[in-house]
Amino acid sequence: MARDAPRVIGAVTGVGLVTLAYVRWLGVTNSTTVALTFLLVVLVVAATSRLWIAVVTSVAAMICFNFFFLPPFGTLSIADPQNWVALFAFLAVSLVASNLSSVARARAQEALARRDEVARLFDLSRDVLLMTDSREAIALLARFIARRFDLDYVAICLPRLAEWDVHEGGALSIALDPHELTVAYAGVESTLEFDARERTYGGHRTMVRDGLTVRLVPLRLGTKPVGLLAAAGRPVEPGTLDALAGVAAIAIERAQFLEERKTAELARQSEELKSALLASLGHDLRTPLTAIRIAASNLQASWLSDTDRREQSELVLTEVERLTRLFQNILEMARIDAGGVAAERRWVHPSEIIEAARAQVEHTLGSRSIDVSVESDRLVRLDPRLTAAALSHLLENAAQHAPASSAIAVRGTVSADELTLTVRDHGPGISPMDLPRLFERFYRGADAKKRVSGTGMGLAIARGLLAVEQGRVWAENCPDGGAQFTIAVPADSKDPEPEASTS
């Protein structure tokens, strides 16, 4: 009422100004002209205000019309019976017009409100589609509903055996009574009825908590109830609440589906990893063990010369080194998965990292030529152990995929905040099908059967070791043939200290 007071005062003032203008300034005495002008004021008020304000304006206009423009002037009495008819006709027309205008305005406001609710439901549906984290999906959904519909409190209540999982959203926090939730949910499970007037299904309830009225709406997937939606705050139509509960139920089903799909995907990946690991280990263990067994048998032969014995011994040592490297890879991958790798930074020259990596895969490289180029003498501060281990896997990969007669080029570059190491080979390059999955564990490429053996762990281990240093690794094909792998590790740099002169 207090909010409408300025509108009432403005409407009555408008009637008074029209009366003053016609009586004092313009001298208009034609009753038809005056009645139409008053009717125009009433219509304007009815189009912009509530019905009761238009009725008050109509009554004020009727009084002014009678007092100032119907004889005898200056009194509220009417001498001519025809003027009574004109007065009541004016009042009836103004009231009917006010009512029609008010109804039309109410319908327009209702249409705008419905459009606003539909837009809110659309925005909520879009929020639901963007949700990907199934663990926090329900709590996030409650916050989305509270924000989109300007509600002070929203709770999604899901039954879990004898208890309730309540996920809240909104500015308020209300302690819902589990017993009332159970009673409301039991009523929802019994029957499913549709109220055509309210455009809702049955099961809507209210409870009063902390002085606030909380509305409970059933969450249904089809005809099956899955929980309750509790809402408090601004008034929302029951039909809109029912539609909102339907969207929330679909979102809950989607979150559960995402969780199930994620679990199934993890199980599938686990099985794939186990199968790939067993296949790789079976292949890569069988070859060196067979070679060692044959070489050991040969060493027992009395007819071998000293030169042949040395060759067989070298073969045994090479295969043992290969097995050692294989088990080191398995242990490194296990440590990476367990988060047991930590970075220990210190100042070192890039050439020391390259030499350490080269020493780790010396048996794999054999007599292969390695061209090393370091463009700076500056020292870098990083973990040389992790960086060298990652680089060694790239060198091993290059040696396995490039011809034995070709050289492997290793280049080091030092910038203000990063060390870059590149390994370039002159092999067949990387297949476009393999590039997206090149650093996945146990992935050996589409044509792995045509190439040398390997477990597919080396590049994945290199990526994991570099991740501990916030480094990165990527691969690309060179325009003139071959592949190039690049390591980039964040590192401070400084000029080496001058050596102390000796006298």
123 within a domain of the structure (yes/no):
no
Mean pLDDT across 426-441: 84
The two beta strands, 205-209 and 200-201, are unpaired
The model's confidence at residue 193, banded by pLDDT at 50, 70 and 90, is low
45 within a domain of the structure (yes/no):
yes
The mean-pLDDT minimum among 251-260, 374-383, 390-399 falls in 251-260
Q: Give the CATH number of the domain where residue 256 resides.
A: 3.30.450.40
472 and 350 belong to one structural domain: yes
198 and 299 belong to one structural domain: no
Backbone torsions φ then ψ of 426, nearest 5 degrees: -120, 40
**How many domains is the chain partitioned into structurally?**
4
**pLDDT exceeds 60 at position 452:** no
69 and 157 belong to one structural domain: no
363 and 436 belong to one structural domain: yes
- Per the listing, tokens 């070679």 go with 291
500 within a domain of the structure (yes/no):
no
The model's confidence at residue 280, banded by pLDDT at 50, 70 and 90, is low
Q: What is the pLDDT of residue 192?
A: 61
**pLDDT exceeds 90 at position 474:** yes
Q: What is the pLDDT of residue 502?
A: 47
16 and 50 belong to one structural domain: yes
229 and 281 belong to one structural domain: no
363 within a domain of the structure (yes/no):
yes
Q: Give the CATH number of the domain where residue 352 resides.
A: 3.30.565.10
253-263 residues labelled b (16+ CB within 10 A) or e (exposed): ebbeebeeeee
224 and 276 belong to one structural domain: no
d(CA 314, CA 317) in angstroms, rounded, equals: 5
The model's confidence at residue 50, banded by pLDDT at 50, 70 and 90, is confident
118 within a domain of the structure (yes/no):
no
103-161 residue pLDDT tens: 887 888 888 877 888 888 888 888 887 777 666 788 888 888 888 888 999 999 999 87
413 within a domain of the structure (yes/no):
yes
* Residue at which a domain ends, from 306, 326, 346: 326
363 and 443 belong to one structural domain: yes
299 and 256 belong to one structural domain: no
Per the structure block, which two tokens stand in for 29? Answer: 């005495």
Q: What is the pLDDT of residue 445?
A: 67
472 within a domain of the structure (yes/no):
yes
> Who's near 435: CB < 8 A, 6+ residues apart?
475
479 and 348 belong to one structural domain: yes
125 within a domain of the structure (yes/no):
no
**pLDDT exceeds 50 at position 331:** yes
408 and 343 belong to one structural domain: yes
Phi-psi region of 481 (alpha: psi -120 to 50; beta: other; left: phi over 0): left
Q: What is the pLDDT of residue 281?
A: 59
Residues of the domain holding 183: 132-262
281-324 residue pLDDT tens: 565 566 677 778 888 888 777 777 878 878 888 878 877 877 77
**pLDDT exceeds 50 at position 503:** no
d(CA 144, CA 128) in angstroms, rounded, equals: 9
**pLDDT exceeds 50 at position 212:** yes
Per the structure block, which two tokens stand in for 260? Answer: 């199930």
341 and 461 belong to one structural domain: yes
